[in-house]
């Protein structure tokens, strides 16, 4: 309903605002018996946290997670896991100046329309900081998926007009832009630098892949695996498009080009000669890698002077100061991975119940 | 869970298979007091039904809806509305020949992997016929939205490489392809004819717009309005991509180009100088028109001989006979509209509860 | 929300009114691979149907179930099972006379207050006929539970002031009152006869037991096994009290009397020296039999003349004609069993996911 | 699913264990615009907290609530309200001695059966301390209900064999047993003293009443208002029976005695000459006061030596030391009130959407 929970079985509920005391997440439905430590969670939070490089916001948050419940002697007990991440470096003063002005591209207007009130400090609940809870929860999902040899990773494939041309998986986490193509690092870095100096921002495209995904995940009609992924990814702030497999390019193609042909079976797994479907047939995984992409808008907060209106409709000049990512893409990678991992685990759990044979 | 229900408040559950006795839908949560007739429902079903033109499948289904409950003296009572649509022209024999072969591009393999059993006749539950229930339910939503002066319409904007260049809203329902650009009708029709004669199929792109949408719809985090639309649309068979507003093109743009500037307020409604965001800010509608697009793959059933495997993994030649749409797009328009209307109404209902002032 | 669905995983949605065309249920989440036939369903419907004896309403309904989807070649496919039961013997005319008068004890007033409209024919949705859908769905759950050697049965333990003193399980289904004590049949039958002749009705108490229930069902906090049972049973029309194990008598007892002492373990199952808790500890089953009781009010429809008001508040004399059970108890037994079976199966399914060991 | 959430619209999720760092609750779906302070919450927590009198456990917990999100400048924003209550006086050492023994009457066995692991310190998640989160959330609901002039209060009506005979509402919160009958205070207090000194505990019965409840709350079938209350109350630890209105005594009564006769209408509200139904007809409130009762078992933790078994099935002597309430009743009153308030508010919110007139 109010949209702060995600998942059917492995269910998370996030809470918190950008400049409140803390943010957090409650994970309900995590199976008992999983060994998990603060370190497992922190690893992922560190990949998301601000201030990792000059290409990200300079807000200083250590984003240290505190686990408050659900884990006893290092093992999950099956009861809710509550995790809290303090806000340490919120500078709310920057927001006082335009607390009554609707920042273009932001949720200021739409929150006011919906709730009649809004925590304007740092965007309140609409801030990207909300995603710390998702990443913390996703880290638990990731650990369970690892035991099943399922691995999800994302990378930035395009920034502005610059596109990666090759994919070196090992390079992704070794560069601050999380791109898989070393030859593009300088140009892409320069582009971000340039737009930042111009008080502007730049969009991009991210790809996420999941390897080792078993066939049979997802449900036939409204909870198709791709529909759930789409919901998960479009629920990340600033995403404007989502595609699976061939994506939008499929619109100009023919069935004879697009159908993935099955060529045999090996160790119970069907082999295809292509993966145009991105690992999904009829909304259910087919055992191929899951491949998705999404488009991220340029950061709405830019320091150029923009026109806007206040809540009374009067036109105002606005300069959004504060500390912002000039390009949202690099930090969006671990967030997207977390969301995909949450979908994967939830669907795997559901899939334990689909046949009589499995449940008897 | 099992994914046959959609919506939080105005909640629908569809059931039925392509060649079963009937298909249907139960609508739960429809407010009492709505005047509604079979005709209101039938109008939309007729827009979706097969055999409308030479560009669609020739299966003959009148798709006459029977309302079984929830309506008394022509008015909804607030109790579940059960609607049934019989299957009249199922020819299951065509499917006997390849009941053990996995048709490429279809859900045959993935259903078998999930359930260990599958109703192979006409694709069973994975058939597009399942959507009659959605369209019937969507017709009720549409009627309620009409009282609020909210209007949703879709059109085919691209078939294969051919793109519409102008949008004549009045033309859409006057041509069998549901395109808005009369100048493209001949070429697009010829293209579909050609691929059909070649035993092939062709993909396309559809756009849906909602006018008169109030600001404030959708929820901040996981149930963003665009995330809900994405889930609704990606849940339609064959959709491979979804975008809102500028969509994927936003990936190469700058914040200064993309931010929609607010220029004033009139009758309580904020005015923008552009609609790059497609009517949504921070996952909540801003009062602008909602604009979305999605890519539809070419029909998987083609009559060319394809290679595939049977359930034992043995390679087989396959020729998928039966009656199929060479292009899914024209009939997908009312289905997509139905899904958007369901999301709109559900969000509007939720929005009645967001402030204390509204509920006291 | 609107309360026509029940269950988290094995989820049912009922629809239909007493005098509509039909009633029915959609079962979503039934595992694939279950052999099930109309006969399995009909057996339970026949136990519930009206006109079984002189102690029940004389409305003539064969209550023949029609299965519309979800079953292929006699086996569930994992897709929604839609079942329909026609209304054949509705005599709506009897209700025309008092369509504007609120019948005492009935939902007429409360429905009007909620919905502003009401299908007055036979009580519409508030009729006990709605439970055919539950019983049909419960029959499927029962068949699955049977494969797990879990057996649930209910019986009438009290009618008016008459209480059964011994429990002969084999006698229950051999007598029209579904009592387990043959020595009470005449007196109880006479009592019902008497109140019926007086144009009155009589209440009673029902007990339900589940044998072979595995330990570990139910969830710690809000979905305790007993809380779910309570919700299931209180959701049956006319129930005014629910208790588990010692029930209300526990209020006057001491801990040292009440605690069930564990005395050993045999074949992995803990043995207790008593079952005061009714098989549930901390909201989770402990392997003992589940034992519950509930109180059923006397039928609200009585043919004595009663005072009441119409929708304008004017006092009226009312004589509720129509055909009614003078005592709701005998026919409530299969309904209660169905609800308990639905809870059991749903909790068993959930329980497959509680530990990492189970899901890997 | 995992049962740590309650409510459809005003939805709460509790987390935490008896001896963990903290316990808490996330409230999602609270309307924006409510003025609320720590004090509003604390008032209710103080009514529930341990150590209030010699009749309750002597564990010292100040139960100071910390609000972490969802409130800005003293007003709810419509985003999740996260509240945390630290555990300050947990003495886990007492539990080391019997960490492998299943305490009779407790959830030790059933948790082990379900999860294969258990936080044995103070009962972990099965502890009554979990209810702090419910009471904190209930305090918010209570404040909203107050604006609607709806008032819920509970009292202890029976302890052991001693029953209150008159109801002085003003006396309830003035005595440590929360009984409404001053003449019974000494006897009831003496009884509790006696059982405590004997190392035993005693059960009781609680009644809760809601005044000013509008007609129309609750849903027709599975979410009947009484079914929701039953689930809410049976979800409190130690409850073994629930009844509404006449409750179990209705089983021996006749329709002509039981039907509440409507005698007129005043200011739009129907008047009855009795309230046997406890304010509910057909699962929907009728405008009368809601009246419910529930039976609470004697505390399972008693300091007498009891036999039990360890996880291997070996018989052991057990003496449960620690600090426990000899009678659960007095502190259960605010918990039950909180649960009833949560149900009331949730149903009120749902009820804003039941007719077309309300939503347009």
pLDDT tens profile A235-278: 999 999 999 999 999 999 999 999 999 999 999 899 999 999 99
Can you give the pLDDT at residue B323?
74
| CA–CA min distance A173, chain C (Å) | 29
Q: Does residue C9 belong to the interface with chain B, where contact is any CB pair within 8 Å? A: yes
More confident residue, D354 or A97: D354
> pLDDT at residue C36 above 80?
yes
Pairwise CB contact (< 8 Å): A258 & B357: no
Average pLDDT over residues B322-332: 90
Can you give the pLDDT at residue A212?
98
What letter would DSSP give residue B43? H
Between CA D316 and CA B331 the distance in angstroms is 72
Q: Please say whether the beta carbons of D81 and D69 come within 8 A.
A: yes
Pairwise CB contact (< 8 Å): C29 & B2: yes
Between CA B92 and CA D75 the distance in angstroms is 62
Q: Does residue B33 belong to the interface with chain D, where contact is any CB pair within 8 Å? A: yes
Can you give the pLDDT at residue B60?
84
> A298: pLDDT confidence band, cut at 50, 70 and 90?
very high
Q: pLDDT tens digits for C205-231?
A: 999 999 999 999 999 999 999 999 999
Can you give the pLDDT at residue C89?
81
Chain B residue nearest residue D77, CA to CA? B355
Can you give the pLDDT at residue B50?
86
| CA–CA min distance B15, chain A (Å) | 10
> pLDDT at residue D315 above 90?
yes
| SS3 assignment, position B204 | strand
Can you give the pLDDT at residue A221?
97
Average pLDDT over residues D157-167: 98
Per-residue 3-state assignment (H helix, E strand, C coil) for A218-261: CCCCCCCHHHHHHHHHHCCCCEEEEEECCHHHHHHCEHHHHCCC
pTM over 0.90: yes
Q: pLDDT tens digits for C49-100?
A: 988 888 888 778 899 999 999 999 999 999 999 999 999 887 878 788 889 9
Q: What is the mean pLDDT of chain D?
A: 95
Pairwise CB contact (< 8 Å): B105 & A307: no
Can you give the pLDDT at residue D125?
96
Q: What residues of chain B lie within 8 A of the CB of D34, using their CB?
A: 356
Q: What residues of chain C lie within 8 A of the CB of A357, using their CB?
A: 33
For chain B positions 331-360, those within 8 Å of chain A (CB to CB) are: 350-351, 354-355, 357
> pLDDT at residue A320 above 90?
no
Q: Does residue B161 belong to the interface with chain A, where contact is any CB pair within 8 Å? A: yes
More confident residue, A178 or C99: A178
Pairwise CB contact (< 8 Å): D15 & A70: yes
Can you give the pLDDT at residue D93?
83
More confident residue, D55 or C105: C105
Neighbours of C5 (CB within 10 A): 22
Can you give the pLDDT at residue D323?
74
Between CA A288 and CA C235 the distance in angstroms is 46
Which residue, among A92, A41, A48, has the nearest Cα to A329 in the 3D structure? A48
Average pLDDT over residues B313-335: 91
Average pLDDT over residues C351-359: 96
Provide the CB-side half-sphere exposure for C143 (13 A, CA).
Answer: 22
> pLDDT at residue C293 above 80?
yes
Can you give the pLDDT at residue A189?
97
Can you give the pLDDT at residue D94?
79
The residues near A190 (Cβ < 8 Å, ≥ 6 apart) are none
> D166: pLDDT confidence band, cut at 50, 70 and 90?
very high
Residue B118, judged by CB atoms within 10 A of its CB (0-12, 13-18, 19+), counts as buried
Q: What residues of chain C lie within 8 A of the CB of D202, using their CB?
A: 253-255
Q: What is the mean pLDDT of chain A?
A: 95
Between CA B218 and CA C220 the distance in angstroms is 32
ipTM of the complex: 0.97
> Which tokens sit at B352?
């009645």
Q: Please say whether the beta carbons of A191 and A202 come within 8 A.
A: yes
Which residue, among A276, A284, A209, A229, has the nearest Cα to B242 in the 3D structure? A229
> Chains meeting D at 3+ CB pairs closer than 8 A?
A, B, C
Q: What residues of chain D lie within 8 A of the CB of C234, using their CB?
A: 224, 226-227, 229-231, 242, 244
Range scoring the smallest mean pLDDT among C33-47, C161-175, D96-110: D96-110
Can you give the pLDDT at residue A51?
84
Q: Does residue C29 belong to the interface with chain D, where contact is any CB pair within 8 Å? A: no
Per-residue 3-state assignment (H helix, E strand, C coil) for C117-132: CCCCHHHHHHCHHHHH
Per-residue 3-state assignment (H helix, E strand, C coil) for chain D: CCCCEECCCCEEEEEECCCCCEEEEEEECCCECCECCHHHHHHHHHHHCCCCCCCCCCCCCCCCCEECCCEECCEECCCCEEEEEECCCCCCHHHHCCCCECCCCCCHHHHHHHHCCCCCHHHHHHCHHHHHHHHHHHHHHHHHHHHCCCEEEEEEEEECCEECCCCCHHHHHHCCCCCCCHHHHHHHHHHHHHHHHCCCCECEEEEEEEECCCCCCCCCCCCCHHHHHHHHHHCCCCEEEEEECCHHHHHHCEHHHHCCCEEEEECCEEEECCCCCCCEECCEECCCCEEEEEEECCCCCCCCEEEEEECCCCEEEEECCCCCCCCCHHHHHHHHHHHHHHHHHHHHHHHCCCEHHHHC
Can you give the pLDDT at residue B320?
83
> pLDDT at residue C1 above 80?
no
Can you give the pLDDT at residue A327?
96
Can you give the pLDDT at residue D57?
80
Looking at domain D5-359, its CATH architecture is 4-Layer Sandwich (3.60)
Can you give the pLDDT at residue A91?
82
> Which tokens sit at A218?
């997802």
Can you give the pLDDT at residue B283?
98
Average pLDDT over residues C31-43: 98
Q: What residues of chain B lie within 8 A of the CB of A313, using their CB?
A: 264-266, 270
Average pLDDT over residues C102-124: 95
Q: Does residue B75 belong to the interface with chain D, where contact is any CB pair within 8 Å? A: no
Q: What residues of chain C lie within 8 A of the CB of D161, using their CB?
A: 252
Q: What are phi and psi of C96, to 5 degrees?
A: -60, -35
For chain C positions 171-190, those within 8 Å of chain D (CB to CB) are: none
Between CA D153 and CA C244 the distance in angstroms is 25
Name the H helices within chain B: 38-48, 93-96, 108-115, 131-147, 185-197, 225-234, 255-258, 329-351, 356-359
Domain ranges of chain A: 5-359
Between CA A235 and CA C330 the distance in angstroms is 52
Q: Please say whether the beta carbons of C259 and D105 come within 8 A.
A: yes
More confident residue, D88 or B24: B24
Q: What residues of chain C lie within 8 A of the CB of D125, using their CB?
A: 220-221
Q: Is the dihedral of CA A74, A80, A86, A91 positive or negative?
A: positive
> A57: pLDDT confidence band, cut at 50, 70 and 90?
confident
Between CA C333 and CA C9 the distance in angstroms is 24
| CA–CA min distance C154, chain B (Å) | 29
Average pLDDT over residues D326-351: 97
Q: pLDDT tens digits for B85-140?
A: 999 887 878 788 889 999 999 999 999 999 999 999 989 999 999 999 999 999 99
> D56: pLDDT confidence band, cut at 50, 70 and 90?
confident
Q: Is the dihedral of CA A340, A341, A344, A346 positive or negative?
A: negative
Range scoring the smallest mean pLDDT among A2-16, C45-59, C98-112, C273-287: C45-59
> A46: pLDDT confidence band, cut at 50, 70 and 90?
very high
For chain C positions 102-121, those within 8 Å of chain D (CB to CB) are: 102, 104-111, 113-116
């Amino acid at each position: 309903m109010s949209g702060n929970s995600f998942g059917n079985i492995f269910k998370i509920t996030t809470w918190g605002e950008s400049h409140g005391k803390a943010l957090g997440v409650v994970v309900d439905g995590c199976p008992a018996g999983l060994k998990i430590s603060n370190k497992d969670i922190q690893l992922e939070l560190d990949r998301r946290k601000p201030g990792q490089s000059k290409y990200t916001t300079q807000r200083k948050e250590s984003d240290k997670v505190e686990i408050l419940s659900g884990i006893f002697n290092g093992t999950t007990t099956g009861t809710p896991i509550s995790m809290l991440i303090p806000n340490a470096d919120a500078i709310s003063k920057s927001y006082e100046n335009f607390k009554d002005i609707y920042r273009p591209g932001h949720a200021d207007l739409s929150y006011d329309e919906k709730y009649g009130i809004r925590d304007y400090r740092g965007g309140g609940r609409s801030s990207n900081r909300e995603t710390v809870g998702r990443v913390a929860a996703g880290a638990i999902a990731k650990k369970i998926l690892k035991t099943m040899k399922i691995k999800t990773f994302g990378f930035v494939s395009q920034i502005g007009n610059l596109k990666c041309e090759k994919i070196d998986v090992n390079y992704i986490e070794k560069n601050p832009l999380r791109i898989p193509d070393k030859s593009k690092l300088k140009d892409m870095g320069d582009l971000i630098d340039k737009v930042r100096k111009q008080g502007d921002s730049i969009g991009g495209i991210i790809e996420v892949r999941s390897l080792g995904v078993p066939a049979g995940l997802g449900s036939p009609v409204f909870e198709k695996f791709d529909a759930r992924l789409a919901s998960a990814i479009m629920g990340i702030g600033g995403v404007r498009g989502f595609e699976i497999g061939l994506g939008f390019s499929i619109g100009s193609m023919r069935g004879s080009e697009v159908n993935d042909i099955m060529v045999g079976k090996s160790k119970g797994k069907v082999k295809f000669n292509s993966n145009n479907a991105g690992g999904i047939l009829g909304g259910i995984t087919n055992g191929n890698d899951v491949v998705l992409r999404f488009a991220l808008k340029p950061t709405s907060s830019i320091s150029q002077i923009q026109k806007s209106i206040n809540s009374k409709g009067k036109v105002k000049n606005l300069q959004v100061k504060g500390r912002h990512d000039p390009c949202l893409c690099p930090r969006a990678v671990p967030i997207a991975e977390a969301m995909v991992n949450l979908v994967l685990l939830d669907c795997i759990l559901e899939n334990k119940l689909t046949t009589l044979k499995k449940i008897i």
